[in-house]
């Protein structure tokens, strides 16, 4: 009937908006629900070092003698054999201790990570730690974070860059890391425009709880990049994926 037809077909703008919103929300939620295991590939490269026990507890073996004894008193009761060792040391280097002379020089910060063969081109943010002591990761899964407290690319040690594998809107840029293979070229662009070229040498999948943080965040040794994202099964209980995927790259020969 002409009277009912337009009514049936007509959605009030509010109802239409509500429907659209519901649809979007449900689709978004389905992305969340459907994420099962993320695409995975076999690990390669040297095995992850065994989690170390961390630095030895400082001072554990030493009496907490906080300071030097006052002069004059030390001579009499110093244990035999401990007094007056000959000091035969080369003259130490001496430096200007002024504030200006002590200001630290840091290399240019990395601003972009490229891996053309993986279709990866991600802007980088300099990040620190969250309130609960975890590495900070940019909320936006289209960006990645460089751990600014650790080495910068180009410095000795391990430069750590991490990004979300996905967010509630869909896959993140670092999902592409799953395609990394031995020899995959990776480039860092720095704030001064300079570029550093690397090649992938290893990939490791580790349970998040066993992430070898003291190796990953090592500030010494060979220059290397550690690209980190998530992988494994979605754990509803933990509200996160179970594993970290770590891609290691070293300076291109």
What is residue 89's three-state secondary structure?
Answer: coil
For another protein, the closer CB: 198 or 234:
234
Distance CA 191, CA 43 (A): 32
135 — phi, psi (to 5°)? -65, 135
Nearer CB in complex with another protein: 187/226: 226
Site string for another protein, 192-231 (x = CB under 8 A): ----------------xx-x-xx-xx-x--------xxx-
Rule CB under 8 A: choose which of 188, 200, 224, 241 binds another protein.
241
Residues 103-132 that bind another protein (CB under 8 A): 103-104, 128-130, 132
Pair type for strands 195-207 and 185-190: antiparallel
Interacting residue with another protein among 113, 115, 122, 135 (CB under 8 A): 135
Positions 26 through 85 that interact with another protein (CB under 8 A): 26, 28-29, 32-33, 35, 55-75, 78, 82-85
Among 5, 7, 34, 193, binds another protein (CB under 8 A): 7
Asked if 18 touches another protein (CB under 8 A), the answer is yes
Tell me the site size for another protein, rule CB under 8 A.
102
Contact of 172 with 141, CB cutoff 8 Å: yes
CA 179 to chain centre: 19
In angstroms, what CA-CA distances link 138 with 116, 119, 122, 145, 162? 22, 20, 12, 6, 9
The smaller minimum CB distance to another protein, of residues 25 and 252, is found at 25
Q: Which helix (H) or strand (E) holds 246?
A: strand 240-251
Give 25's DSSP letter: H
């Amino acid at each position: 009937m002409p009277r009912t037809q337009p009514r049936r077909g007509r959605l009030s703008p509010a109802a239409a908006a509500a429907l659209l919103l519901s649809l979007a929300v449900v689709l978004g939620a389905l992305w969340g629900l459907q994420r099962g295991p993320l695409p995975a590939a076999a690990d390669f490269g040297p095995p992850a070092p065994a989690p170390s026990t961390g630095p030895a507890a400082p001072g554990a073996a030493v009496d907490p003698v906080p300071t030097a004894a006052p002069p004059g008193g030390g001579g009499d009761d110093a244990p035999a054999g401990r007094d007056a060792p000959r000091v035969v040391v080369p003259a130490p280097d001496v430096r200007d201790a002024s504030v200006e002379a002590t200001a630290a020089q840091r290399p240019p910060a990395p601003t972009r990570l490229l891996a053309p063969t993986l279709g990866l081109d991600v802007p980088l943010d300099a990040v620190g730690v969250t309130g609960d002591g975890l590495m900070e990761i940019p909320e936006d899964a289209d960006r990645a974070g460089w751990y600014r407290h650790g080495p910068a690319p180009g410095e000795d040690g391990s430069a750590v860059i991490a990004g979300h594998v996905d967010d509630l809107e869909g896959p993140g840029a670092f999902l592409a890391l799953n395609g990394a293979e031995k020899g995959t070229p990776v480039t860092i662009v720095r704030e001064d425009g300079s570029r550093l070229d690397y090649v992938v040498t290893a990939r490791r999948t580790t349970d998040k709880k066993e992430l070898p943080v003291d190796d990953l965040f090592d500030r010494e040794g060979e220059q290397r990049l550690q690209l980190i994202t998530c992988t494994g099964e979605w754990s509803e209980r933990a509200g996160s994926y179970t594993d970290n995927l770590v891609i290691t790259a070293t300076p291109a020969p």
